[in-house]
């Protein structure tokens, strides 16, 4: 397999890029989607979160009350650290399982990880960054996702800076333009991806420790 990471700030359009890569044949391992899966009602992760943060974070149907958790951890670094220590290992284990499933194939495998810059992974053959100006992020969050401006800026501020993401990038997608422009960049990206060498079939993924 060919193994790369994909990241971008909130509101950058990373999910759109992930979808376009999937349409070209990439296997997407989506950290956010896996996070939701390991937090299903009745899961060990839900139980541990309830033990740490109290039963109020579990909704009546047994699902995780995400806004309640966000309200607890947003301005509490210790609580956020506890959350990460519970959730990240479970997510990492499932991501590794899916990578191992692919390692004897010739697929392009894309790890879609919002916090890849903050929590780098070893063994990647490239890091793709979806980039837009901060003001574009703010506008998209307000217009399309219903954030108020202060909340949008606060969430952007809690992620790695645009400069830090770009400094760690091997390939940058500028998603501030038209869909046609984006499509042309995806074509260039796909050519680059498929030119990378295959990893050995015994490749062993590692999991970064949560910060």
C-alpha distances in Å from residue 32, one per residue of 87, 92, 129, 183: 11, 11, 16, 24
As a whole number, the mean pLDDT across the chain is: 94
Interval 89-100 mean pLDDT: 94
User: Which of the four pLDDT bands, split at 50, 70 and 90, describes residue 75?
Assistant: confident
Quick one: pLDDT at residue 40?
94
C-alpha distances in Å from residue 84, one per residue of 13, 61, 75, 115, 183: 24, 24, 14, 12, 35
Asked whether the beta carbons of 11 and 137 are under 8 A apart, the reply is yes
Name the β-bridge partners of 7: 129
For 122-146, write each residue's pLDDT tens digit.
Answer: 899 999 999 999 999 999 999 999 9
C-alpha distances in Å from residue 191, one per residue of 33, 120, 187, 196: 27, 24, 6, 9
28: Cβ contacts below 8 Å, ≥ 6 apart: 18, 21, 22, 110, 112
Decide if pLDDT at 195 tops 60.
Answer: yes
Distance CA 80, CA 120 (A): 18
Question: 169: number of CA atoms within 13 Å, CB side?
Answer: 21
Decide if pLDDT at 209 tops 70.
Answer: no
For 15-70, write each residue's pLDDT tens digit.
Answer: 999 999 999 999 999 999 999 999 999 999 999 999 999 999 999 999 999 999 98
DSSP 56-116: GGB-TTS-B-HHHHHHHHTT-HHHHHHHHHHHHHHHHHHHHHHHHHHTTS--EEEEE-TTT
Enter the tokens of residue 160.
Answer: 């790695």
């Amino acid at each position: 397999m060919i193994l790369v990471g994909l990241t971008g700030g909130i509101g950058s359009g990373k999910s759109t890029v992930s979808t376009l890569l999937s349409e070209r044949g990439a296997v997407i391992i989506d950290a956010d989607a896996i996070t939701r899966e390991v937090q299903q009602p009745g899961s060990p992760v839900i139980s541990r979160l309830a033990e740490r943060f109290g039963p109020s974070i579990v909704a009546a149907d047994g699902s995780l009350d995400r806004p309640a958790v966000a309200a607890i951890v947003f301005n509490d670094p210790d609580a956020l650290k506890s959350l990460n220590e519970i959730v990240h290992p479970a997510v990492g284990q499932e991501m590794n399982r899916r990578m191992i499933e692919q390692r004897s194939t010739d697929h392009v495998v894309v790890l879609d990880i919002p916090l890849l810059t903050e929590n780098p992974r070893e063994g990647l053959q490239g890091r793709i960054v979806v980039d837009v100006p901060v003001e574009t992020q703010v506008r998209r969050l307000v217009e399309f996702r219903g954030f108020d401006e202060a909340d949008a800026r606060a969430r952007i501020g809690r992620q790695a800076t645009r400069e830090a993401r770009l400094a760690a990038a091997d390939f940058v997608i500028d998603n501030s333009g038209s869909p046609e422009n984006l499509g042309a960049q995806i074509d260039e990206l796909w050519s680059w991806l498929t030119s990378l060498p295959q990893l050995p079939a015994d490749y062993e993924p590692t999991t970064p420790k949560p910060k």
